[in-house]
Amino acid sequence: MQALSATPRTGLVPWPGLLLAVSLITFWSPPTSAQLAIVPTFAAEGSDVIMRIKNKPPNAESYVCDRILVNNDGSLVIKRVTLKHTGDYTIVVHLQNGRKEIGFGRLTVYEPLRVPTLLASNTSVTENKDAVEFTCYTNGITTHWLFNAVRLKLTDRMKLSPDNRVLTIDPVRREDAGSYQCEVSNPQSSTESWPVELNVKYE
């Protein structure tokens, strides 16, 4: 008996290829619905938080989370959160057919943002002779710098510390004279320091 062969004329599939195709059909299954999850949530310390879930199964019967209260719609509720509430949360959804789905999500709690304090090493300096260092004291997550109420454009004479909280200008020039502020923020809010005026003397 002549063996099967594959040529462009006959359109037959070689046996190894046919076996591979059968294997793929056997083990492949259509993708399931999107994964149940808790929406990542950010909150200020002391606030009330509702953590919602996404991709909720349509045949859910009940929701369980060991750490907090769960509403009928699957949302998770925490009253007056503290920094200790920061962490990963797990929700278990019991389905009508006796199965269950598990979802995960993270809550991050921040301290209320305080108005930053801006200090300068010197506020009256001489052009091309002195340097000045501004330090922003804050509990914020990110720090930006303002010059005369607009975002500061750094020059080659300006350097920032790795956390952006210290601005050094060396040497100072007359165009650096003006009002400086640090603007700080976390995912919940932002605020600015009181301005510090830098005076530059020149001849």
Q: Where does 117-201 sit in CATH, by number?
A: 2.60.40.10
Tell me how crowded residue 174 is: count the other CB atoms within 10 A of its CB.
10
180 pLDDT higher than 80: yes
pLDDT for the residue numbered 102 = 93
Question: Higher pLDDT residue, 42 or 30?
Answer: 42
Q: What is the pLDDT of residues 55-76, one digit of tens each?
A: 998 888 888 987 788 998 889 9
Query: Once rounded to an integer, what is the mean pLDDT over residues 21-37?
Result: 49
- Hey, how many other C-beta atoms are within 10 angstroms of the C-beta on 19? 11
Cβ contact 96:144 at 8 Å: no
What per-residue confidence (pLDDT) applies to 34?
A: 85
Average pLDDT, the chain: 84
Average pLDDT value for residue range 155-179: 97
Task: Summarize pLDDT for 76-97 with one digit per residue, the tens.
Answer: 999 999 999 999 999 999 998 8
CATH 2.60.40.10 range(s) for the chain read 37-110, 117-201
Tell me the CATH number of domain 37-110, given options 3.40.50.1100, 3.40.50.2300, 2.60.40.3470, 2.60.40.10.
Answer: 2.60.40.10
Tell me which residue of 107, 102, 88 sits closest to 37, measured CA to CA. 102
Q: Which of 16-20, 62-66, 183-187, 191-195 has the lowest mean pLDDT?
A: 16-20
Please calculate the CA angle 10-15-17 and round it to the nearest 5 degrees: 90
Residue 32, judged by CB atoms within 10 A of its CB (0-12, 13-18, 19+), counts as: exposed
Residue 8 above 70 pLDDT? no
How much is the pLDDT for 59? 85
